[in-house]
Structure 1
């Protein structure tokens, strides 16, 4: 029996159980934050959208020709976050033990090392490629398919690279600022990079695991919940009346530093 077949069998046996956990998350999360259909979420009195006109550039005159669309998406993402994602995260923490959550996070972190590996290769960074390949090999084998992270105590560095950074390394400009539905702050360049990374990693996942539709849904739900659980940002929680502009500035600067490093 090949290693690939063995991995598929393990995941096929595990994912139905994860599906039951997700069901518990859905019921637990809904019970903690009930939402009446038709309710409009209340925004803070001093939200950026109430103080800043969409046609006015703020702070440092950043390239934001899609501001009206971006602010609409920002409010949409706020509502999805408040009424869907955060209740799911709350339910997830209620029905799962900490070791399970750590294993899920380690698994996804290890799998998406693949994204860093191919982007490091495309960027011509041998150091990052070797480090990340080493982490992936150690955590996939000794760490039982990535459920554990022995690479960190072994001192193997962690890198995070994506195709948006790769395009930046190749000299492609960021282009206008863009707020993506569900995904949040981005740019035209990074939006293209996100699409490329999603396609490549999905193809690799399907080639390795051969998941059916149910497995794909469970994978996507767990990944979304785990990702949101590890993002500390809270919409309208910055204390600034100019939050949209502040987030735009911080994101743009962070991406510039990511590409320069």
Structure 2
């Protein structure tokens, strides 16, 4: 013990000197102690730059992007200068109950391709549901002017030939922006053509044949469809609306095919 005592005294002295030195030393504020105070923000990094940095997550196969963007801008202006003013005029001069009847009538016609595509996808319950809707809405609903089927617990089930192709594994193909009709892809555009052919061949309630002599029926159907579609170009309030719309459409179609 006597031999270790000088060593213990020396160790204690060193600790005391170290503590005194630490208390007397001033640490320079080099920015690492308060990094946020030294952080410089670039005022140019606004919402636009933030969105640009996330666009990689919105990638969609779009080899015709240059053409699609031109069509997108055409649709934007057509919607702003022609389509929506016509829709507003239609709403202004047409009583609400008449508008509802027109919507119900064309919705009833739309259940014909819904039924065909439900059957093609072997969705028996949906096919029976849509068959019942057609029966009740065409008879009790007076050719579809009313929609008693929904009140009876038979909601509308939308199925199109694009979904049918996707159901059987057909790839979406390149993204397409269709004039006036809006977002689509190669598979769904093919589906639109087939669904149109189904309506023409079945000629439900003789509407397709009558429309050939009275194109105003087709015009009215287009106005009604636009009036009942809530989307408005520019509503995303983003310079990257094209990319967002493309992504939302692609993902929503995947969900519709999977359900």
Q: How does 1:1-261 map to 2 (within 5 A)?
A: 58-205=56-203, 208-209=206-207, 210-211=209-210, 213-215=212-214, 217-261=215-259
Q: Deviations for 1:82-137, whole angstroms, at most 9, x for unmatched residues? A: 12110110110111100000000000001110010000111111111000010010
Shift in CA distance, 147/203, structure 1 to aligned 2, threshold 3 Å: same
Equivalent position SS for 1:152: helix
Measured after TM superposition, the shift of residue 207 of structure 1 is 7.8
Contact 1:117 1:133 in 2 (8 A): yes
TM-score scaled by length of structure 1 = 0.75
Equivalent position SS for 2:183: strand
Contact 1:58 1:245 in 2 (8 A): no
Equivalent position SS for 1:59: helix
Q: Deviations for 1:198-248, whole angstroms, at most 9, x for unmatched residues? A: 122133237834316442x12111111000001111111211221000001
Contact 2:109 2:204 in 1 (8 A): no
Equivalent position SS for 1:211: helix
Equivalent position SS for 2:248: helix
Contact 2:58 2:244 in 1 (8 A): no
| In structure 2, distance between residues paired with 1:197 and 1:233 | 23
| In structure 2, distance between residues paired with 1:148 and 1:162 | 23
Unaligned runs of 5+ in 2: 1-47
Q: Give the greater-gyration-radius structure (CA).
A: 2
Equivalent position SS for 2:210: coil
| In structure 2, distance between residues paired with 1:131 and 1:212 | 28
More relative contact order, 1 or 2 (CA 8 Å, 6+ apart): 1
| In structure 2, distance between residues paired with 1:64 and 1:213 | 35
Shift in CA distance, 125/150, structure 1 to aligned 2, threshold 3 Å: same
TM-score scaled by length of structure 2 = 0.76
Measured after TM superposition, the shift of residue 156 of structure 1 is 1.1
Q: How many residues align?
A: 207
| In structure 2, distance between residues paired with 1:183 and 1:73 | 10
Q: Deviations for 1:57-83, whole angstroms, at most 9, x for unmatched residues? A: 743432111100110110111111112
What is the RMSD of the two structures over their aligned residues, measured on CA atoms? Answer: 1.9
